[in-house]
Amino acid sequence: MDVVEMAARVKAASLQLQGVSSQIKAGALLSIAEAINRNRKIIKEANAEDIICSEKEEIAAPLLKRLRFDDRKIDAVLDGIKSLAGFDDPVGRTLLATHLDEGLELYKVTCPIGVIGIIFESRPDALVQISALCLKSGNGVLLKGGAEAALTNRVLAGIIVSASEEAGIPHGWLQLLETRGDVAEMLKLDAYIDLIIPRGSNEFVKYIMNNSNIPVLGHAAGICHCFVDKSADIAMAVSITVDSKTQYVAVCNALETLLVHRDIAARFMPAVKSALDEKGVELVGCPETQALIGVKPAAEEDWGTEYLDYKLSIRVVSDVGEAIDHINKYGSHHTDAIVTADPENAARFLEYVDSADVFVNASTRFSDGYVFGLGAEVGISTSKIHARGPVGLEGLVIYKYKLLGNGHIIDDYAKKKKTFEHKPLKKEFSL
Amino acid sequence: MDVVEMAARVKAASLQLQGVSSQIKAGALLSIAEAINRNRKIIKEANAEDIICSEKEEIAAPLLKRLRFDDRKIDAVLDGIKSLAGFDDPVGRTLLATHLDEGLELYKVTCPIGVIGIIFESRPDALVQISALCLKSGNGVLLKGGAEAALTNRVLAGIIVSASEEAGIPHGWLQLLETRGDVAEMLKLDAYIDLIIPRGSNEFVKYIMNNSNIPVLGHAAGICHCFVDKSADIAMAVSITVDSKTQYVAVCNALETLLVHRDIAARFMPAVKSALDEKGVELVGCPETQALIGVKPAAEEDWGTEYLDYKLSIRVVSDVGEAIDHINKYGSHHTDAIVTADPENAARFLEYVDSADVFVNASTRFSDGYVFGLGAEVGISTSKIHARGPVGLEGLVIYKYKLLGNGHIIDDYAKKKKTFEHKPLKKEFSL
């Protein structure tokens, strides 16, 4: 089956999936969890083969670690699916109800988007999580995982498809793409695919965004900032900086640039340097930073670089306004934090920093769908439309307007025989 | 000033506009209304010049009619602005509030999108309406109107800019583009523009969608259907068909294809033919339709054609399922209606027709932002993400996540020293 045929099948299934009940979807998720549990052995065997291949190809250790799908990770995935099954259905919620006129009622009701194309990295747990989110939100899905996890993904997709279809999910709703060439094909299929969510490197996401007419949701980079205001508690600022930078350096919500108010710099800088030195973080800074703690100079491009490593750039600024300007100029609109004891500066930071996630006195590492209570996430979006920040179930639905009349025609309103009343209705859609 | 510079200015202004209060925005809208009222003479003089030019260029009569900006249209525009000023601010609404843990609160709060690029047809009232919607929602805007209305638009934009900036809206928030070449430039400026809303012909909108990396919201075509079910009241079905097709043929929510249940066709067809003949509507149909009312044959391409004229294609189908399949295959996901007395078929139609607006026993002509009670609309979207159907103020905002902590770090949760509680909070965001 070629990619066009696969996409057409998912599209056809997605039209049926629109009307599948909450009960059937929740039941299908539990069936998937059971089937994965039952097939642990086969899954782990496939994963072992993937790992052997990857070791032969001398793949980097962190990638190998993410590829490994052991009992601990399977347990976590099963917990995730079961918890998702219990979530409220995001489909069929009435967002707005209006009495337009006697016998004429308008309802804005959530519904699935349709077909989602998702390209993700080597973690096999991502395949399960993404499939479960798409099923729960009633969307068909075309999946493309990392080549390293090909065998594990094939086994997992097979299990998910057969368990869900037996439980009443329309045939063909999930298709697994296998090659890089398939991805290039997929980007052209705007007739079948409504949204693409790419997860991966900066260059890869940019390539997707520049090569498709299909809307793309995601983030190319996570250039996250922390601004230490003059009123900051120094111990808190050090703790948040260290956590944001070093708790996990290879993730998009890790800190890349530290901005420090001039009035606190002389006291804060030595403290944060000593804490970061302990973690082995390389520091580069502006001339004032260099003068205070003797680090190497930061080049202009450092301010726009996502290191994803034990490296941090530091700049002294004169106030919260200059910090905001720096972030809006060099940042990637992902996650930015202020450490301050001043509510006015906190308010200004939250209002004017143009990022998906803006934090006061908390680590940038909190920006995550699970942490936010969304259950899980398909990714983090820095887009300015549809969904921003961690994207969970709500980002996978849209709405339609349903109008119920009894023979109403517009000509009666054009001729002023009738007029609109536009009164809010306090009720859920029903026929 | 070239387009890049203009876009950069709007972008800079938009960053300030994020924080402008509801009061200032509402006041600025009232100032705009006053200034337009005060400058009626200048506006009408500019419009008269545009009309003379257009008459010389022998522009079609409907276009000329839309171009004319007389006192009646000015009054309507002023009413619209004043009513918009009184609407709730779409910015700053708390969509979700969650207690993550002791002292750690998350808020999802609406905010402006940023910079919107809007390309619209010859009606000068569109310029005023669009500018007012963007101001109310806190967005900067790059506007490009039809060349026929160039002088009127220039005068109106000048009045809007000076009245709003005097009332406290950041300098540079609205810029008017003047040439087609400017539009081509604008499509490249994804660094400054967050969303493009094109209004115009099918070809024009498709051109925009295919030539920009910036997200586009709108609709290329409005191929709207009405399905007359076997249980339909014949008089109601005739009335809805005539209204949907002929009340205003040149608009996107006008009917283009009529689908008729086989079991009612023999009774309904002659009635609807006679009513449509009276309005001078040309009919084409499938073989069964031809056999019943002797119309010309419809070609395959008729089912996918937006006539925008006194022409209608008619097809006999065997049930609501076949009607849904036809609509999902040939339609443009804009507006589709069913006429039926059967609630089950109505429910099925609403659920499975994959369109922005799905109606039961009402004319397709109701799909409109004003009719829906949205105040006004920037356009109608057939996109599957962000905003669907008539797009009013709510479609011009997005949200950001605001997290308030007091020194929280993720390491405490990773090490199980703390756990997330994820309890819904019943309160609006405040610091």
- CB-CB neighbors (< 8 A) of A363 in chain B: 408-410
Residue A86 contacts B, CB cutoff 8 Å: no
Nearest to B205 by CA among B308, B121, B302: B121
- Residue A290's Cβ-count burial label (10 Å; 0-12, 13-18, 19+) is middle
Residue B352 contacts A, CB cutoff 8 Å: yes
Q: In percent, how much of chain B has pLDDT > 70?
A: 100
- Banded model confidence at residue A383, pLDDT cuts 50, 70, 90: very high
- CB-CB neighbors (< 8 A) of B430 in chain A: none
Q: What pLDDT is attached to residue B20?
A: 97
pLDDT digits (tens, 9 = 90+) for B381-392: 999 999 999 999
Backbone angles phi, psi at B315, to 5 degrees: -135, 140
Residue B399, min C-alpha distance to chain A (Å): 7
Residue contact A407–B240, C-beta within 8 A:
yes
Residue contact B351–A18, C-beta within 8 A:
yes
Test mutation, A11, A351, A412, A423, chain B, max B CBs within 10 A: A351
pLDDT digits (tens, 9 = 90+) for B280-328: 999 999 999 999 999 999 999 999 999 999 999 999 999 999 999 999 9
Ramachandran class of A375: left when φ > 0, alpha when ψ lies in -120 to 50, beta otherwise: left
Residue A123 pLDDT more than 90?
no
- Banded model confidence at residue A220, pLDDT cuts 50, 70, 90: confident
- Banded model confidence at residue B210, pLDDT cuts 50, 70, 90: confident
> Is the CB of residue B97 less than 8 Å from the CB of residue B106?
yes
Residue contact A383–B215, C-beta within 8 A:
yes
Q: What pLDDT is attached to residue B280?
A: 97
> Is the CB of residue A369 less than 8 Å from the CB of residue A251?
no
- Banded model confidence at residue A373, pLDDT cuts 50, 70, 90: very high
B382, closest residue in chain A (CA to CA): A400
Q: What pLDDT is attached to residue B203?
A: 87
| Residues β-bridged to residue B106 | B98, B403
Beta strands A195-198 and A115-119 are parallel
Q: What pLDDT is attached to residue A18?
A: 96
- Banded model confidence at residue B161, pLDDT cuts 50, 70, 90: very high
Residues contacting residue A367 through CB under 8 Å, at least 6 positions apart: A253, A334, A335, A356, A357, A359, A380, A389, A390, B401, B403
- CB-CB neighbors (< 8 A) of A407 in chain B: 233, 236, 239-240, 361-362
pLDDT digits (tens, 9 = 90+) for A337-354: 999 999 999 999 999 999
> Is the CB of residue B49 less than 8 Å from the CB of residue B67?
no
Distances (CA, A) of B292 to B241, B251, B266, B315: 18, 29, 7, 11
Q: What pLDDT is attached to residue B1?
A: 83
Residue A79 pLDDT more than 90?
yes
Q: What pLDDT is attached to residue B204?
A: 87
pLDDT digits (tens, 9 = 90+) for A20-37: 999 999 999 999 999 999
**pLDDT mean over A387-407:** 97
Q: What is the dihedral angle through the alpha carbons of A186, A191, A195, A196, rounded to the nearest 10 degrees? A: 10
What's the CA gap between B136 and B38, in Å, rounded? Answer: 22
Task: Kindly list the strands in the beta sheet with B115-119, ordered across the sheet, starting from the edge strand earlier in the chain.
Answer: B174-177, B140-144, B115-119, B195-198
- Alpha helices for A167-257 (secondary structure H): 180-186, 202-210, 234-246
**pLDDT mean over B142-157:** 95
Residue B122 pLDDT more than 80?
no
Chain A window 143-202: which residues touch B at a Cβ cutoff of 8 Å? 194-195
Structure token digits, residue B402: 């605001």
Out of A247, A358, A411, whose CB is closest to B247? A411
Q: What pLDDT is attached to residue A200?
A: 83
Residue contact A398–B388, C-beta within 8 A:
yes
pLDDT digits (tens, 9 = 90+) for A165-209: 999 999 999 999 988 899 999 999 999 999 999 988 888 888 998
Residue A122 pLDDT more than 80?
no
Domain boundaries, chain A: 3-218+383-396, 224-366
Mean pLDDT for chain B overall = 96
Q: In percent, how much of chain A has pLDDT > 90?
A: 90
How far is Cα of residue A337 from the mean position of the Cα atoms in its chain? Answer: 19
Residue A205, min C-alpha distance to chain B (Å): 13
Q: What pLDDT is attached to residue A63?
A: 83
Residue A353, min C-alpha distance to chain B (Å): 8
Residue B258 pLDDT more than 80?
yes
**Of A86-100, B81-95, B194-208, minimum mean pLDDT range:** B194-208
- CB-CB neighbors (< 8 A) of A98 in chain B: 372-373
- The CATH superfamily assigned to B224-366 is Aldehyde Dehydrogenase; Chain A, domain 2 (3.40.309.10)
Backbone angles phi, psi at B256, to 5 degrees: -120, -30
Residue A7 pLDDT more than 80?
yes
Residue B357, min C-alpha distance to chain A (Å): 5
Out of B114, B354, B431, whose CB is closest to A354? B114
**Opening angle at CA B258, ends B252 and B261, nearest 5:** 150
Q: What pLDDT is attached to residue A1?
A: 83
Residue contact A355–B100, C-beta within 8 A:
no
How far is Cα of residue B276 from the mean position of the Cα atoms in its chain? Answer: 29
Task: Kindly list the strands in the beta sheet with A195-198, ordered across the sheet, starting from the edge strand earlier in the chain.
Answer: A174-177, A140-144, A115-119, A195-198
pLDDT digits (tens, 9 = 90+) for B220-238: 899 999 999 999 999 999 9
Q: What pLDDT is attached to residue A62?
A: 79
Test mutation, B229, B400, B417, chain A, max A CBs within 10 A: B400
- CB-CB neighbors (< 8 A) of A420 in chain B: 371, 373
- Banded model confidence at residue B209, pLDDT cuts 50, 70, 90: confident
- Alpha helices for A115-178 (secondary structure H): 124-136, 150-166
Q: What pLDDT is attached to residue B59?
A: 86
Residue A241 contacts B, CB cutoff 8 Å: no
To which residue do tokens 């490009």 refer? B144
**pLDDT mean over B140-160:** 96
Residues contacting residue A421 through CB under 8 Å, at least 6 positions apart: A99, A100, A101, A102
A397, closest residue in chain B (CA to CA): B385
Residue A277 pLDDT more than 90?
yes
A358, closest residue in chain B (CA to CA): B402
Domain B3-218+383-396 in CATH 3.40.605.10? The answer is yes
Residue contact B366–A15, C-beta within 8 A:
no
